Chains A and B, each alone.
Chain A
């Protein structure tokens, strides 16, 4: 067994000389470190090691030679290391699969360019790309809306949206200043400053029913900051009320789909799961519970259970009465 990181460092060392060879005028050390995803200190250590490597004989004319001018580094003797190593299967898969996904997500990049890049990469990846890939990414997106949103972003123009809000079952109209496009959990989102709400909002592209690019420039105010979407797009405040549910087996998917806490198995209902969902929007919780059709029992808040039951009784009256 080798120490962890040994092959990783070796892979980097093998790429370093070809990287410098491809940049005959030299490259700033900081830029090289960034390209390799390591610290400058680590890169310096790598280079010190390279100085001791070379062709058998290992005399002054056989060893790899690098020269530093100011903060720039370039290679003066390559010892025959002019091209990087071929792509491994995993690297080829990562490239080919990601390009295929991009090809299927219209609006994210120029389709023709992606298609040409895919052909070229597949050609150099050789056998690694020929086999059916062991992984696939499928990204859904509304083609038209995404293309218009992207156009607005690139030209830095404000957008006018017709947007469906499922938690309130409403179609809203608003003017927004687009900031960026995101892909989270397989859905495309527009992050924008909403002039109506006077805040940064995420708009799921498949809920955009109509969008036009306006003539006026996009001008998100200075207080418009990009949100952290590391843990998903849904960030209820810590003070948001807790909704406690007991999920029957058929409704257990709720625990996979929404951020839940206090998860534990329960006897009643059999095979059930007790969860707590934090939400600032009880209308959303009401719709969720109703859409589970009795698959979830509301333990808290009591009002929520009563509201859902009341809605259901009113609906039943229409069936029995008419």
Chain B
């Protein structure tokens, strides 16, 4: 603390020896090697702590006569710039930060809140808003994946797709972590497949390993993380026509277009889908209330599912 105040208060670079002599808390120079060692250790640790906190500690020499590097903190780089928010804007910030409540960046969100309050912004989360947003998640691999994406370092992990029995090792240049529909995904460039890939964090086994230097790659400039996750299950659109008994398949009708009555009094419905397999799952679950007219592949897929279901409960 005193170190920060002392270095903020000066334009000159201050040498380590001078810091040792003036800032209380350091082992004073009594000529012994032990005292020198103790000072060095503590000073190095303090510098590391300050840098970790984001204090812009500069090293340099004030004049050509200085024999060693000194330290200073430029006030303009240290201080949070002026920030004035209206009541509504501050409420929005408070509300936004609550999105992190009990989520991974809760600590950073809390310290950001403290800094804004220290800057005189009256951020009162949830004030006058009868809302309680929250993004739930408890994903142990978030932290290393997020840090790797932030620092642009390589990350490696074992990954198990639900349709594959054995996990496989993946090496990824992480572009970012995305919460999409309540689940966390890692988006990045898969080095072995030489292509962009989306990974669900809950399918990562064990602790991901972060390796290599920081800044090892550059994400694509027009990257839209959420869009990449949304697109991963997209495919070509198909039109599916089904017959549904009147008054049934309410859920299906919510995303279907009514085509009028069929000859037998059933309702004809048309559904657009990019995921025919998922639609077949849904259609099969409606049982005898829904009959697929076309296309044949979807009809076959539903019959296949029903056949498997019909065999259930019977000895194999």
Interface, chain A (partner B; CB < 8 A): 1-2, 6-8, 10-16, 18-19, 22-23, 35-37, 49-50, 52-56, 58, 79-95, 97-99, 101-102, 105, 108-110, 113-114, 116-117, 120-121, 123-124, 126, 132-140, 150, 153-154, 164, 166, 169-171, 178-188, 209, 229-230, 232, 249-253, 256, 270-271, 287, 289-294, 297-298, 302, 305-306, 308-309, 311-319, 322
Contacts and interface: CB of A to CB of B under 8 A. Distances in A.
- Nearest first, the 6 A-B pairs at minimum CB distance are A294-B308, A186-B182, A293-B305, A185-B182, A22-B120, A271-B165
Contacts of A252: 162
B284 A95 contact: no
B251 A117 contact: no
B53 A315 contact: no
B172 interface: no
Given A183-B134, A250-B163, A316-B307, 5 more contacts: A15-B118, A137-B99, A164-B254, A289-B309, A312-B312
A109 B1 CA distance: 39
Contacts of A178: 130
Contacts of A110: 88, 92
B112 A311 contact: no
Interface of B: 1-2, 4-6, 8-9, 22-24, 45, 48-49, 52-56, 77-86, 88-93, 95-97, 99-100, 102, 105, 107-112, 114-115, 117-120, 129-137, 146, 149-150, 162-165, 174-183, 200, 202-203, 219, 221, 223, 225-226, 229-230, 248-251, 254, 280-282, 284-288, 290-291, 299, 302-314
B112 A91 contact: yes
Contacts of B95: 102, 108-109
Contact of B288 (A7, A10, A14, A315): A315
Nearest to A114: B92
B163 A249 contact: yes
Contacts of B55: 85
B181 A140 contact: yes
Contacts of A37: 110, 114
A263 to B, nearest CB: 13
A298 B313 CA distance: 8
B83 A311 contact: no
Contact of A305 (B133, B163, B313): B313
A134 B177 contact: yes
B24 A58 contact: yes
Given A10-B49, A10-B53, A312-B287, A181 B132 contact: yes
Contact of A14 (B4, B89, B130, B135): B4
Contacts of A308: 309, 312-313
A102 B99 contact: yes
Contact of A315 (B23, B89, B92, B306): B306
Contact of A137 (B135, B146, B313): B135
A169 B309 contact: no
Contact of B92 (A2, A109, A290, A294): A109
Contacts of A93: 105, 108, 150
A95 B223 CA distance: 19
A27 to B, nearest CB: 10
Contacts of A253: 162
26 contacts: A2-B45, A7-B52, A14-B1, A14-B53, A15-B114, A80-B9, A81-B5, A83-B80, A86-B56, A87-B54, A87-B80, A90-B105, A91-B115, A99-B92, A102-B99, A117-B92, A121-B83, A134-B146, A134-B174, A179-B130, A181-B133, A294-B307, A294-B308, A308-B313, A312-B310, A314-B288
Contacts of A49: 1
A290 B281 CA distance: 8
A201 B10 CA distance: 61
Contacts of A121: 83, 93
Given A169-B250, A186-B182, A290-B287, A113 B88 contact: yes
Contacts of B221: 132
B48 to A, nearest CB: 8
Given A94-B109, A271-B165, A7 B53 contact: yes
B97 A88 contact: no
A98 B311 contact: no
Given A91-B111, A132-B176, A19 B118 contact: yes
Contacts of A11: 53, 111, 114
A2 B49 contact: yes
A200 to B, nearest CB: 14
A15 B115 contact: yes
A196 to B, nearest CB: 18
